[in-house]
Amino acid sequence: MGLVEEEERKSSDITVFAESCTLHGINHIFLPGGVTIRRLLWALCFLMSLALFLYQVVDRVDYYIQYHHVTTLDEMDSSSMVFPAVTLCNQNRLRKSQVTENDVYWLSGLLGVKEADLPAFLATIGRDSDITSFTPSNSYDMMALFDRAGHDLTEMLLDCRYRSEECQANNFVQ
């Protein structure tokens, strides 16, 4: 009789699994003992949630497989066209060769360079690191920096053709 009592006290595998499972609600359904109203309500809620989840999954997969798309195409014949809009981007805002010691001095705060690190920074960008004779200007003009050190379209535009005709930098506007 001792063996029978020990087997009854021993939890089933599903009960052991449910106790350590992180799936919400399952540990309230599979408890040792008989069926109760509380367990039936938990089982009902769990099954309804699972059904709703699976319904949504099936609905979204079905929608994805249908591959909804909308394509609109307007085609017009024209004997001549206006030169198309073109955007040329250069990730380097300034030409390193045109940046001066004065620029680095005034922009050091924006660049995160401390005044003590200016010589090392100047050496990094290929400038003379000796700043003992350097005197910064009284004021600074950012527009002058971009006019002087910014990229020039005539240098960036290597080859341009439109309708079999050559185009130049003066064909572009800003």
Dig out the tokens for 137 from the structure: 């200007």
What's the pTM? 0.42
Residue 81 forms part of a structural domain: no
Dig out the tokens for 40 from the structure: 């039936």
Domain that holds residue 107: 96-171
Convert the pLDDT of each residue in 55-112 to its tens digit: 999 999 999 999 888 888 888 777 776 767 777 777 778 888 888 888 888 888 888 8
Q: Is 100 helix (H, G, I), strand (E, B) or coil?
A: coil
Domain count, the chain: 2
Q: Are residues 15 and 55 in the same domain?
A: yes
Convert the pLDDT of each residue in 134-159 to its tens digit: 788 888 888 988 888 888 888 888 88
Residue 73 forms part of a structural domain: no
